[in-house]
Structure 1
Amino acid sequence: MFCPKCGFESPEENRFCKSCGANLQLVSDVMGGKQLPIMLGQFGIDVEKLKRGARSLRNAHHHKADTNSQSVMETAAELRRVRREERRQRARQPKPREWLRYSWQHNLRDGLMSIFGGAGLGAVLFFLSRTASDIGLLKQLEDQSQVKGLELMLRLVWLFAAIPVLKGLAQILYAAFFAESIAKLTDRFLPPQQQAQIEAPVTGTINRPISAPPSVTEQTTNILEKEKELRITQEAERATS
């Protein structure tokens, strides 16, 4: 409940305002429709005026709450709109995996992997075809299938490993003469980073380190110990005198 005299908010169970001392019980009775005398004792407040003030204060409070809730909703809607716009911009921008493959680092790595992978595959296929030819397996397959030249084809199957080797060489040439670095591609495709520049204030004073405040219990203990020592000293002086 709000006091109609000073506007201080008090719990419903309080009978008097803590700020100005107005009788809030009478305000509740007035709002409830009870018939009261025209004057309210020592405060001298008109009942009708009190009722109008209480109602206007309540309406103002509700209007303020509605205004605050409306502003909060508008702020939330604006934040949602900004986030949607940011998501659209990120969706329109090319993904890093789409443009990083054009860097010389990426092409050099993939080229070397293709060359070594193709060379290893060719070595394995050459060894298998040579072994199968030595034991007569390729000749036997040619006789059973009745396909002329099958033995020669199977003996030269290792040449298919030249495909990844040539691809790796092409990637290395592209990395050496045409590709750009990751730094240049990043500057081209990514927006510039907005970094807040925070300048340290220049003052002629030395900032002292923040220390923890002394404990209240420790201070009280020191005071009591000093009082006890003083009392013992006074008693000792009285005994000697």
Structure 2
Amino acid sequence: MSDSPFAAYPLRPASYAATLGPTVIVVPHPDDEALGCGGLLALLRQANVPVAAVLVSDGSMSHPHSRDFSAVARRELRYAEFRHALAVLGIEEDDDNVLYLNLPDSQVPTPGQPGFAEATTHLADFIAAKQAATVLVPWRRDPHPDHRATSQLTAAALSSLPQPPRRLEYVVWAWERATPADLPQPGEGTGFRLDIAAVLPRKQRALAAHRSQLAPGTIADDPSGFLLSEEMLAHFAQPFESFIE
């Protein structure tokens, strides 16, 4: 962890969170919100800053060979875990502050593919309706294809707005899987870490809400299913989160 460029970014105090204003987080899969910026979300709500969330994919492919849990059941399980995690972070699903794009897990469309333009419009309308000052989105070259597609979708949505909000990119899989070409290049953005020590226990509780993704898991009949490794989770047990603007 110590040799990652993300761990060397300058540290900003927890009070910085309140300066972001009304915030929308765009989430590729249920659990990315807690992993990438659960601490920031908790700090925003602690400061009574409005937060809304967009879940891009249905999350149903984490255990694709399960017979006990159909694709619909897996989706509903992941959605329930997502709502639980948001509630732990202080984001209640009311007043239409959570948007589900329901795009297929592992097949989030990219520009030119079916569904991309429609999803872009839904996302842009939601961001505008929430009068967001800041949008949180995965790092543009985060190694998971759905994360990259989410970044492209968000970029298209923001470019369609007359006064786009600021964009902060959070890190998930780039902690472990990034190649040198995936990492931020000189002049590409300003990296910083946010001190989340005061809300780290809350972030960990939000992560724990995603029981299907944590060993031993809740879907027992698909041994090939995805579970977050201890090594991966260690990156998100640190008292800071990393962002690129």
TM-score (norm 1): 0.18
Tell me: higher relative CO, structure 1 or 2? Use CA pairs within 8 A at least 6 residues apart.
2
Identify the structure with the greater strand proportion. Answer: 2
Identify the structure with the greater helix proportion. Answer: 1
TM-score (norm 2): 0.18
